[in-house]
Structure 1
Amino acid sequence: MTDIRTDRLLLRPWRESDLAPWAAMNADPLVREHLGPVLTREQADASVAAFRADFEARGYGWWAVEVLADGEFVGFAGLDRVDDGLPFSGVEVGWRLVRPAWGHGYATEAGRAALAFGFETLGRSEILAVTTAGNLRSQAVMQRLGMTRDPADDFDDPDAPEGPLRRNVLYRIARGSLG
Protein backbone atom coordinates (compact mmCIF):
# COMPACT_ATOMS: atom_id res chain seq x y z
CA MET A 1 0.00 0.00 0.00
CA THR A 2 1.46 3.29 -1.13
CA ASP A 3 1.72 6.27 1.22
CA ILE A 4 0.81 9.63 -0.25
CA ARG A 5 2.18 12.85 1.26
CA THR A 6 0.72 16.26 0.65
CA ASP A 7 1.85 19.55 2.17
CA ARG A 8 -0.08 18.86 5.38
CA LEU A 9 -1.38 15.30 5.23
CA LEU A 10 -0.30 11.69 5.06
CA LEU A 11 -2.60 9.20 3.36
CA ARG A 12 -1.39 5.86 4.68
CA PRO A 13 -2.31 2.27 5.55
CA TRP A 14 -4.68 1.72 8.43
CA ARG A 15 -3.23 1.00 11.88
CA GLU A 16 -4.79 -0.68 14.89
CA SER A 17 -4.55 2.70 16.66
CA ASP A 18 -6.97 4.13 14.06
CA LEU A 19 -9.82 1.82 15.04
CA ALA A 20 -11.06 3.70 18.12
CA PRO A 21 -11.01 7.18 16.54
CA TRP A 22 -12.58 5.78 13.35
CA ALA A 23 -15.37 4.21 15.41
CA ALA A 24 -15.90 7.44 17.37
CA MET A 25 -16.05 9.43 14.13
CA ASN A 26 -18.66 7.07 12.65
CA ALA A 27 -20.72 7.24 15.84
CA ASP A 28 -21.09 11.01 15.33
CA PRO A 29 -24.52 11.76 13.81
CA LEU A 30 -23.22 14.92 12.09
CA VAL A 31 -20.41 13.03 10.37
CA ARG A 32 -22.94 10.41 9.24
CA GLU A 33 -25.65 12.93 8.31
CA HIS A 34 -25.36 12.26 4.56
CA LEU A 35 -24.29 8.63 4.87
CA GLY A 36 -26.95 6.89 6.93
CA PRO A 37 -27.16 5.61 10.49
CA VAL A 38 -24.22 5.82 12.85
CA LEU A 39 -22.02 2.72 13.03
CA THR A 40 -21.42 0.47 16.00
CA ARG A 41 -17.84 -0.26 16.99
CA GLU A 42 -18.15 -3.67 15.36
CA GLN A 43 -19.41 -2.16 12.09
CA ALA A 44 -16.63 0.44 12.10
CA ASP A 45 -13.98 -2.23 12.71
CA ALA A 46 -15.46 -4.37 9.92
CA SER A 47 -15.30 -1.42 7.52
CA VAL A 48 -11.57 -1.01 8.19
CA ALA A 49 -11.04 -4.74 7.59
CA ALA A 50 -12.84 -4.33 4.25
CA PHE A 51 -10.71 -1.27 3.37
CA ARG A 52 -7.55 -3.28 4.04
CA ALA A 53 -8.81 -6.23 1.96
CA ASP A 54 -9.73 -3.95 -0.96
CA PHE A 55 -6.27 -2.38 -0.95
CA GLU A 56 -4.66 -5.81 -0.88
CA ALA A 57 -6.80 -7.03 -3.78
CA ARG A 58 -6.80 -3.93 -5.99
CA GLY A 59 -3.85 -1.77 -4.97
CA TYR A 60 -6.08 1.18 -4.16
CA GLY A 61 -8.91 2.08 -1.83
CA TRP A 62 -9.48 4.18 1.28
CA TRP A 63 -6.35 5.48 3.02
CA ALA A 64 -6.33 6.59 6.64
CA VAL A 65 -5.57 10.32 6.76
CA GLU A 66 -3.36 11.93 9.38
CA VAL A 67 -2.11 15.46 9.86
CA LEU A 68 1.66 15.55 9.36
CA ALA A 69 2.24 18.25 11.96
CA ASP A 70 1.02 16.16 14.88
CA GLY A 71 0.28 12.65 13.55
CA GLU A 72 -3.41 12.98 14.43
CA PHE A 73 -5.82 10.62 12.63
CA VAL A 74 -8.52 12.77 11.02
CA GLY A 75 -10.41 10.37 8.75
CA PHE A 76 -10.12 8.72 5.39
CA ALA A 77 -9.81 9.59 1.72
CA GLY A 78 -9.21 7.63 -1.42
CA LEU A 79 -10.70 5.79 -4.34
CA ASP A 80 -13.22 3.00 -4.64
CA ARG A 81 -15.16 1.20 -7.33
CA VAL A 82 -18.66 2.53 -7.81
CA ASP A 83 -21.21 0.30 -6.08
CA ASP A 84 -23.07 -2.23 -8.21
CA GLY A 85 -26.64 -1.30 -9.05
CA LEU A 86 -25.97 2.37 -9.76
CA PRO A 87 -26.74 3.82 -13.19
CA PHE A 88 -23.01 4.28 -13.98
CA SER A 89 -19.73 2.54 -13.30
CA GLY A 90 -16.14 3.50 -12.70
CA VAL A 91 -13.96 4.65 -9.84
CA GLU A 92 -15.01 7.30 -7.37
CA VAL A 93 -13.03 9.60 -5.10
CA GLY A 94 -14.21 10.30 -1.58
CA TRP A 95 -13.36 11.48 1.91
CA ARG A 96 -14.74 11.51 5.43
CA LEU A 97 -13.25 13.56 8.24
CA VAL A 98 -13.75 14.08 11.96
CA ARG A 99 -15.67 17.28 12.69
CA PRO A 100 -12.69 19.17 14.18
CA ALA A 101 -10.93 18.68 10.82
CA TRP A 102 -13.75 20.31 8.83
CA GLY A 103 -13.10 23.72 7.32
CA HIS A 104 -9.30 23.38 7.10
CA GLY A 105 -9.09 22.35 3.45
CA TYR A 106 -8.07 18.78 4.33
CA ALA A 107 -10.79 17.14 2.24
CA THR A 108 -9.75 19.11 -0.84
CA GLU A 109 -6.07 18.39 -0.23
CA ALA A 110 -6.64 14.67 0.32
CA GLY A 111 -9.09 14.47 -2.59
CA ARG A 112 -6.59 16.12 -4.93
CA ALA A 113 -3.92 13.60 -3.87
CA ALA A 114 -6.29 10.66 -4.41
CA LEU A 115 -7.28 11.97 -7.84
CA ALA A 116 -3.62 12.38 -8.84
CA PHE A 117 -2.99 8.77 -7.78
CA GLY A 118 -5.99 7.62 -9.81
CA PHE A 119 -4.87 9.43 -12.93
CA GLU A 120 -1.09 8.99 -12.69
CA THR A 121 -0.73 5.57 -11.05
CA LEU A 122 -3.93 3.79 -12.01
CA GLY A 123 -4.16 5.41 -15.45
CA ARG A 124 -7.85 6.27 -15.08
CA SER A 125 -9.24 8.56 -17.78
CA GLU A 126 -12.14 9.71 -15.58
CA ILE A 127 -12.92 9.66 -11.86
CA LEU A 128 -16.35 10.20 -10.33
CA ALA A 129 -17.66 11.51 -7.02
CA VAL A 130 -21.09 10.85 -5.53
CA THR A 131 -22.93 12.45 -2.64
CA THR A 132 -26.45 13.19 -1.54
CA ALA A 133 -28.12 16.20 -3.12
CA GLY A 134 -28.17 17.91 0.27
CA ASN A 135 -24.47 17.48 1.03
CA LEU A 136 -23.38 20.92 -0.09
CA ARG A 137 -20.06 20.75 1.81
CA SER A 138 -18.88 17.73 -0.19
CA GLN A 139 -20.20 19.22 -3.40
CA ALA A 140 -18.12 22.35 -2.70
CA VAL A 141 -15.03 20.15 -2.31
CA MET A 142 -15.84 18.44 -5.61
CA GLN A 143 -16.10 21.84 -7.30
CA ARG A 144 -12.80 23.02 -5.78
CA LEU A 145 -11.19 19.90 -7.23
CA GLY A 146 -12.39 20.92 -10.69
CA MET A 147 -15.11 18.30 -10.88
CA THR A 148 -18.29 19.11 -12.78
CA ARG A 149 -21.90 18.04 -12.42
CA ASP A 150 -24.52 17.54 -15.08
CA PRO A 151 -27.95 17.54 -13.36
CA ALA A 152 -29.08 14.98 -15.95
CA ASP A 153 -26.76 12.51 -14.15
CA ASP A 154 -28.50 12.95 -10.77
CA PHE A 155 -30.08 9.72 -9.56
CA ASP A 156 -31.95 8.00 -6.77
CA ASP A 157 -29.79 5.57 -4.81
CA PRO A 158 -31.67 2.26 -5.00
CA ASP A 159 -30.25 1.18 -1.61
CA ALA A 160 -31.31 4.34 0.26
CA PRO A 161 -34.70 4.66 1.92
CA GLU A 162 -37.13 7.37 0.89
CA GLY A 163 -35.94 10.68 2.31
CA PRO A 164 -32.93 12.99 2.14
CA LEU A 165 -30.38 10.21 1.48
CA ARG A 166 -32.13 8.89 -1.62
CA ARG A 167 -31.43 11.67 -4.17
CA ASN A 168 -27.76 11.77 -5.20
CA VAL A 169 -25.61 13.87 -7.46
CA LEU A 170 -22.74 12.73 -9.66
CA TYR A 171 -19.61 14.77 -10.34
CA ARG A 172 -16.92 13.90 -12.90
CA ILE A 173 -13.37 14.87 -13.68
CA ALA A 174 -11.27 13.81 -16.64
CA ARG A 175 -7.54 13.25 -16.66
CA GLY A 176 -5.82 16.54 -17.39
CA SER A 177 -8.52 18.60 -15.67
CA LEU A 178 -7.11 18.41 -12.14
CA GLY A 179 -6.16 21.90 -11.01
Structure 2
Amino acid sequence: MEIPTPTLETDRLILRAPIAADFEDWAQFAADEETNRHLGGPQERAGAWRGMCTMTGAWVVRGFSMFSVIEKETGRWVGRLGPWQPEGWPGTEVGWGIVRDCWGKGYATEGATAAIDWAFDALGWDEVIHTIDKDNVNSHAVARRLGSTILREAVLPPPLNWPVQVWGQSREQWMARRGR
Protein backbone atom coordinates (compact mmCIF):
# COMPACT_ATOMS: atom_id res chain seq x y z
CA MET A 1 0.00 0.00 0.00
CA GLU A 2 1.39 3.38 -0.95
CA ILE A 3 0.57 6.30 1.33
CA PRO A 4 0.37 9.65 -0.48
CA THR A 5 3.05 11.98 0.86
CA PRO A 6 4.10 15.41 -0.36
CA THR A 7 7.34 16.18 -2.13
CA LEU A 8 8.73 19.64 -1.44
CA GLU A 9 11.40 21.33 -3.53
CA THR A 10 13.77 24.15 -2.74
CA ASP A 11 16.46 25.64 -4.94
CA ARG A 12 18.92 22.87 -4.05
CA LEU A 13 16.92 20.17 -2.28
CA ILE A 14 14.11 17.67 -2.72
CA LEU A 15 12.24 16.73 0.45
CA ARG A 16 10.31 13.47 0.19
CA ALA A 17 9.18 10.67 2.47
CA PRO A 18 11.89 8.12 3.30
CA ILE A 19 12.02 5.00 1.12
CA ALA A 20 13.81 1.65 1.53
CA ALA A 21 16.61 2.76 -0.82
CA ASP A 22 17.55 5.48 1.71
CA PHE A 23 18.55 2.97 4.38
CA GLU A 24 22.28 2.60 3.63
CA ASP A 25 22.81 6.36 3.74
CA TRP A 26 20.50 6.65 6.77
CA ALA A 27 22.51 3.97 8.60
CA GLN A 28 25.82 5.72 7.81
CA PHE A 29 24.35 9.01 9.06
CA ALA A 30 23.08 7.34 12.25
CA ALA A 31 26.46 5.70 12.91
CA ASP A 32 28.45 8.95 12.69
CA GLU A 33 29.45 9.90 16.23
CA GLU A 34 29.94 13.63 15.60
CA THR A 35 26.70 14.02 13.63
CA ASN A 36 24.70 12.30 16.37
CA ARG A 37 26.46 13.77 19.41
CA HIS A 38 23.39 15.93 20.14
CA LEU A 39 20.82 13.49 18.68
CA GLY A 40 21.13 10.72 21.24
CA GLY A 41 24.46 9.29 20.11
CA PRO A 42 25.47 7.03 17.24
CA GLN A 43 23.35 4.00 16.40
CA GLU A 44 24.15 0.59 15.00
CA ARG A 45 22.32 -0.55 11.87
CA ALA A 46 19.46 -2.18 13.80
CA GLY A 47 18.78 1.05 15.71
CA ALA A 48 19.02 3.07 12.51
CA TRP A 49 16.50 0.71 10.89
CA ARG A 50 14.04 1.13 13.76
CA GLY A 51 14.51 4.92 13.67
CA MET A 52 13.93 5.15 9.93
CA CYS A 53 10.87 2.89 10.17
CA THR A 54 9.50 4.94 13.07
CA MET A 55 9.77 8.14 11.05
CA THR A 56 8.36 6.44 7.95
CA GLY A 57 5.48 4.96 9.94
CA ALA A 58 4.59 8.37 11.35
CA TRP A 59 3.45 9.33 7.83
CA VAL A 60 0.72 6.69 8.16
CA VAL A 61 -0.16 7.33 11.81
CA ARG A 62 0.14 11.14 11.99
CA GLY A 63 -0.05 12.18 8.34
CA PHE A 64 3.35 13.86 8.61
CA SER A 65 6.92 13.08 9.53
CA MET A 66 10.47 13.95 8.66
CA PHE A 67 11.45 13.99 5.03
CA SER A 68 14.51 12.47 3.44
CA VAL A 69 16.66 15.33 2.15
CA ILE A 70 17.96 14.76 -1.37
CA GLU A 71 20.56 17.03 -2.95
CA LYS A 72 19.15 17.99 -6.38
CA GLU A 73 22.51 18.32 -8.09
CA THR A 74 23.72 14.82 -7.18
CA GLY A 75 20.59 12.87 -6.18
CA ARG A 76 22.40 12.02 -2.94
CA TRP A 77 20.60 11.46 0.40
CA VAL A 78 22.04 14.14 2.71
CA GLY A 79 19.84 13.97 5.80
CA ARG A 80 16.40 14.01 7.29
CA LEU A 81 14.33 16.92 8.46
CA GLY A 82 10.79 18.09 8.89
CA PRO A 83 7.76 17.86 11.12
CA TRP A 84 7.97 15.56 14.10
CA GLN A 85 5.68 14.97 17.07
CA PRO A 86 5.84 11.54 18.67
CA GLU A 87 3.70 10.81 21.73
CA GLY A 88 4.65 13.00 24.69
CA TRP A 89 6.77 15.40 22.60
CA PRO A 90 6.94 18.98 23.92
CA GLY A 91 5.24 20.47 20.86
CA THR A 92 4.94 20.53 17.08
CA GLU A 93 8.53 20.30 15.96
CA VAL A 94 10.40 20.82 12.74
CA GLY A 95 13.80 19.26 13.32
CA TRP A 96 16.84 18.54 11.18
CA GLY A 97 19.86 16.30 10.85
CA ILE A 98 22.27 16.70 7.93
CA VAL A 99 25.26 14.50 7.04
CA ARG A 100 28.48 15.99 8.35
CA ASP A 101 30.18 16.63 5.00
CA CYS A 102 27.24 18.89 4.08
CA TRP A 103 27.39 21.03 7.23
CA GLY A 104 27.84 24.71 6.47
CA LYS A 105 26.01 24.59 3.12
CA GLY A 106 22.76 25.97 4.54
CA TYR A 107 20.79 22.80 3.82
CA ALA A 108 19.25 22.63 7.30
CA THR A 109 17.96 26.20 7.07
CA GLU A 110 16.80 25.82 3.45
CA GLY A 111 15.00 22.55 4.06
CA ALA A 112 13.55 23.57 7.43
CA THR A 113 12.14 26.74 5.86
CA ALA A 114 10.21 24.66 3.30
CA ALA A 115 9.10 22.20 5.99
CA ILE A 116 7.90 24.99 8.30
CA ASP A 117 5.95 26.62 5.47
CA TRP A 118 4.35 23.23 4.76
CA ALA A 119 3.60 22.55 8.46
CA PHE A 120 1.84 25.90 8.86
CA ASP A 121 0.03 25.75 5.50
CA ALA A 122 -0.87 22.06 5.15
CA LEU A 123 -0.98 20.90 8.77
CA GLY A 124 -2.47 24.08 10.23
CA TRP A 125 0.04 24.28 13.08
CA ASP A 126 -0.08 27.36 15.35
CA GLU A 127 3.51 27.01 16.61
CA VAL A 128 6.70 25.35 15.45
CA ILE A 129 9.42 24.27 17.86
CA HIS A 130 12.92 22.83 17.64
CA THR A 131 14.15 20.67 20.54
CA ILE A 132 17.88 21.37 20.79
CA ASP A 133 20.60 20.24 23.19
CA LYS A 134 21.96 23.23 25.11
CA ASP A 135 25.47 22.54 23.75
CA ASN A 136 24.48 22.19 20.08
CA VAL A 137 25.73 25.55 18.81
CA ASN A 138 25.26 24.58 15.14
CA SER A 139 21.53 23.94 15.62
CA HIS A 140 21.22 27.09 17.73
CA ALA A 141 22.53 29.01 14.71
CA VAL A 142 20.03 27.30 12.38
CA ALA A 143 17.17 28.09 14.78
CA ARG A 144 18.24 31.75 14.92
CA ARG A 145 18.41 31.94 11.09
CA LEU A 146 14.85 30.59 11.04
CA GLY A 147 13.79 33.40 13.38
CA SER A 148 13.25 31.16 16.41
CA THR A 149 14.14 31.99 20.00
CA ILE A 150 14.35 29.94 23.18
CA LEU A 151 10.82 29.48 24.50
CA ARG A 152 11.37 27.12 27.44
CA GLU A 153 13.26 24.12 28.79
CA ALA A 154 11.85 20.57 28.54
CA VAL A 155 12.77 16.93 28.99
CA LEU A 156 12.13 14.65 26.03
CA PRO A 157 9.77 11.74 26.80
CA PRO A 158 10.96 8.19 27.54
CA PRO A 159 12.99 6.40 26.43
CA LEU A 160 15.05 9.52 25.64
CA ASN A 161 14.65 11.38 28.95
CA TRP A 162 17.18 14.09 28.20
CA PRO A 163 16.87 17.83 28.78
CA VAL A 164 16.56 20.18 25.80
CA GLN A 165 16.01 23.81 25.02
CA VAL A 166 12.77 24.36 23.17
CA TRP A 167 13.27 26.99 20.48
CA GLY A 168 10.42 28.17 18.30
CA GLN A 169 7.92 30.72 17.12
CA SER A 170 4.25 31.19 16.43
CA ARG A 171 2.56 31.00 13.06
CA GLU A 172 2.04 34.78 13.21
CA GLN A 173 5.74 35.41 13.84
CA TRP A 174 6.73 33.12 10.98
CA MET A 175 4.24 34.63 8.54
CA ALA A 176 5.29 38.19 9.43
CA ARG A 177 8.94 37.31 8.96
CA ARG A 178 8.23 35.62 5.62
CA GLY A 179 6.10 38.57 4.43
CA ARG A 180 2.99 36.43 4.03
Identify the residue that residue 154 of structure 1 maps to in structure 2: 153
* CA deviation profile, 1:49-95 (whole Å, cap 9, x unmatched): 111111012221011000111111001011111551x6xx4211101
Whether 2:60 is the aligned partner of 1:56: answer yes
* CA distances 1:71-120 after superposition (whole Å, capped 9, x unpaired): 11001011111551x6xx42111010110110000000111111101100
Instruction: Give the Cα separation in 1 of the matches to 2:157 and 2:127.
Output: 23
Aligned length: 170
Counterpart residue number, 1:106: 107
Aligned equivalent of 1:133: 134
Q: Tell me, what secondary structure is at the counterpart of 1:177?
A: helix
The CA distance in 2 between the partners of 1:158 and 1:51, in whole Å, is: 16
Distance 1:21 1:3, change over 3 A: same
Distance 2:84 2:63 in 1: 10
Check whether the contact 1:82–1:90 (CA below 8 A) recurs between aligned residues.
no
Structure 2 equivalent of residue 174 of structure 1? 170
Is there any run of 5+ residues in structure 1 with no aligned partner, and where? none
Residue 90 of structure 1 pairs with residue 91 of structure 2: yes
Counterpart residue number, 2:84: 80
Q: Which runs of 5+ in 2 are unaligned?
A: none
Give 1:6's match in structure 2, choosing from 4, 10, 32: 10
Distance verdict in 2 for CA 1:130–1:82, change over 3 Å? farther
Asked whether the equivalents of residues 82 and 91 of structure 1 are also in contact (C-alpha less than 8 Å), the reply is no
What is the Cα deviation at residue 154 of structure 1? 2.0
Q: 1:56 to 1:75 in 2, by over 3 A?
A: same
Paired residue type of 2:59: F
Runs of 4+ in 1 over 6 A off after TM superposition: none
- Per the normalisation by structure 1, the TM-score is 0.88
> What's the counterpart of residue 44 of structure 2?
40
Normalised by the length of structure 2, the TM-score is 0.87
**Counterpart residue type for residue 8 of structure 1:** R
Q: In percent, how many aligned pairs have the same letter?
A: 31
Against the structure 1 CA distance between its residues 147 and 83, is the aligned structure 2 distance closer, same or farther, given a 3 Å change threshold? farther
Partner Cα separation in structure 2 for residue 82 and residue 92 of structure 1: 10
1:21 aligns with 2:22: no
> Counterparts of 2:93 and 2:8 in 1: how far apart (Å)?
18
